[in-house]
């Protein structure tokens, strides 16, 4: 099982802490060592699973917009997007639970125009106000395949308080390329301009997979 590159130090630190914890507990209560080892091993496996990074096969259709995150679609709407598009846009929000893969991927092929880190609160990511008030990374993309702007937001939540973006300004991204993660789950949003015909291919409640599920498409 692959571990996300941006989480390997976290896994190493957790592993060392768990080894020390097991050694200390077994020294203090040697008769209970099987219980300590089994319990901490299960917790360690759970934490490693949080940071898993499976390989994905991304669709090749240049008009397709793929999911930037694993999780459940919790919002499909029309909303103002002042940070990059500067106008009303199609909006899709995905909630990542602690059981989902947390690695985020580029929703389309394109160039990174701008990166912005926005400090904020840590409201529950299912709440609509988390979109505006929570800490977030804003990744502005220019879809080079069809000459359209796209904005991706990585949003922290109540548990997930660390947002990591590995993309660089000016970088050319492949559709489905890894661009970071929100550690321990949260919310990802994607905004698409309304100047060109576009339609969503998912509905509220659908489960999606980053880099695999086509969530929408430009129709001309």
Strand stretches in the chain, DSSP E: 64-66, 71-81, 87-95, 103-105, 110-118, 136-143, 148-155, 163-165, 172-173, 178-182, 187-193, 198-200, 207-208, 214-218
DSSP per residue, 165-205: E---TT-EE-TT-EEEEETT--EEEEEEESSS-EEES--TT
C-alpha closest to that of 88 among 190, 192, 202, 204: 192
Instruction: Name the CA dihedral angle for 204, 205, 207, 208, rounded to a multiple of 10 degrees.
Output: 20
Catalytic-residue membership of 186: yes
Structure tokens at 85: 């598009």
Of the residues 106, 131, 140, 186, only one is catalytic, namely: 186
Question: Could you give the CA distance from residue 126 to residue 155 in angstroms, rounded to a whole number?
Answer: 11
Positions annotated as catalytic residues are 186
């Amino acid at each position: 099982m692959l571990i996300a590159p941006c989480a390997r130090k976290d896994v190493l630190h957790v592993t060392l802490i768990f080894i020390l914890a097991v050694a200390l507990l077994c020294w203090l209560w040697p008769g209970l060592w099987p219980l300590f080892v089994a319990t901490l091993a299960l917790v360690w496996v759970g934490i490693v699973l949080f940071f898993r990074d499976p390989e994905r096969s991304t669709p090749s259709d240049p008009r397709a917009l793929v999911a930037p995150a694993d999780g459940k679609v919790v919002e499909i709407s029309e909303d103002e997007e002042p940070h990059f598009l500067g106008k009303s846009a199609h909006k899709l929000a995905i909630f990542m639970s602690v059981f989902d893969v947390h690695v985020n991927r580029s929703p389309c092929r394109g160039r990174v125009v701008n990166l912005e880190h926005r400090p904020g609160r840590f409201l529950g990511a299912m709440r609509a106000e988390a979109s505006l008030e929570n800490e977030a990374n804003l990744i502005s993309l220019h879809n080079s395949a069809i000459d359209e702007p796209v904005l991706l937001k990585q949003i922290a939540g109540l548990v997930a308080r660390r947002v990591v973006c590995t993309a660089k300004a000016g970088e050319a991204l492949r559709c489905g390329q890894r661009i970071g993660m929100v550690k321990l789950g949260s919310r990802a949003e994607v905004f698409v301009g309304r100047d060109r015909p576009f339609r969503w291919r998912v509905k509220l409640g659908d489960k999606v997979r980053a880099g695999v599920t086509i969530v929408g498409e430009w129709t001309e």
